[in-house]
Structure 1
Amino acid sequence: MSISDLYSSGQHKQAVGHFASVVKIAITDGIIEEGEQKLLDKTAKILEIGEEEYKAILKNPDKYPVNAPVSYDERIERLYRLAKMILADNNVSKEEMALMRKISIALNFPVDNAEKVCDEAIHLIMNDNDLDSFTDAIKKVNAV
């Protein structure tokens, strides 16, 4: 196995873990709403999740660990997708926020700042910030 195969495989595991996190947010209330379904489909395509993997992850998302990327910007992008999923059904529940905080900590955001980062992430998505604006704002909120 070549080094590029290993790198590719590692990236795919990260993508699968991230998709599973997005699925967990979508199913928190027990129902995948139409907006959530559209976002799941779009996210699966972006992350190159195949149909069989998609079905397996939907069936048991807890089976897949988060596998945080090393890049800070990639971790922020994952937070962006999670926040978008929370708001896909135009409803933010306590359970979704609690799960988002756990996932943000797994993405290596500081434990003592996770609530602030997640609250800001939701606020930014509610105000239709794009990824670049979102990234800049999260970096300011997360500055230590």
Structure 2
Amino acid sequence: MSISDLYSSGKHKQEIGHFASVVKIAKIDDIISAGEQLLLDRAAKKLNISSEEYQIILKNPEKFPVNPPVSYDERIERLFRLTRMIFADEVIDKEEVGILRKIAVALNFPADNAEKVCDEAIHLVLNDNDLDDFTTAIKKVNAV
């Protein structure tokens, strides 16, 4: 399979971009912990990432753009999954938070509000909020 085959549909292109973002966060310390591996496996399954695509993305996630969904709620859900990945190894790295902020901007959260949105996202995941509560809180923080 060539890399161009990975971009067969718009929806799948978004899923690949999102999975690559999750991989970027997992690989920030060059080690994928057991918790991170579990989240990667779950994300791959949920996003319909084949084992071949999984391996290609794992080797070089930087090759794949974010491709944010149009739906605001779907973008918030992606932020939720990415934030959960930060906590998967039970260590929050400064670099992970930096990547999360960059990805938040790529997900079309305003650049001047990305830090506030990501700080709130980290707080919500740290306090074990579910996706519904997370969505409500992020909408309040990101209200324009």
Structure 2 partner of 1:30: 30
SS of residue matched to 2:98:
helix
TM-superposed deviation, 1:100: 0.4
TM-superposed deviation, 1:113: 0.3
CA distance in 1, matches of 2:15, 2:133: 23
Structure 2 partner of 1:50: 50
CA distance in 2, matches of 1:81, 1:103: 12
CA distance in 2, matches of 1:34, 1:72: 31
Amino acid corresponding to residue 36 of structure 1 in structure 2: E
Amino acid corresponding to residue 101 of structure 1 in structure 2: R
Compute the TM-score of the two structures, normalised by the length of structure 1: 0.94
Amino acid corresponding to residue 122 of structure 1 in structure 2: I
Q: Which runs of 4+ in 1 moved over 6 A?
A: none
Structure 2 partner of 1:40: 40
SS of residue matched to 2:129:
coil
CA distance in 2, matches of 1:12, 1:98: 26
Q: CA RMSD in A?
A: 0.8
TM-superposed deviation, 1:91: 1.0
Structure 1 partner of 2:3: none
Structure 2 partner of 1:109: 109
Residue deviations 1:66-107 (CA, integer Å, cap 9, x gap): 001100000000000000000001111110010000000000
Structure 2 partner of 1:19: 19
CA distance in 2, matches of 1:89, 1:143: 31
Amino acid corresponding to residue 93 of structure 1 in structure 2: D
CA distance in 1, matches of 2:90, 2:122: 11
Count of equivalent residues: 137
Structure 2 partner of 1:124: 124
Structure 1 partner of 2:143: 143
CA distance in 1, matches of 2:87, 2:139: 21
Structure 2 partner of 1:3: none
Identity %: 72
TM-superposed deviation, 1:48: 0.4
CA distance in 2, matches of 1:131, 1:47: 17
Compute the TM-score of the two structures, normalised by the length of structure 2: 0.94
CA distance in 2, matches of 1:90, 1:127: 13
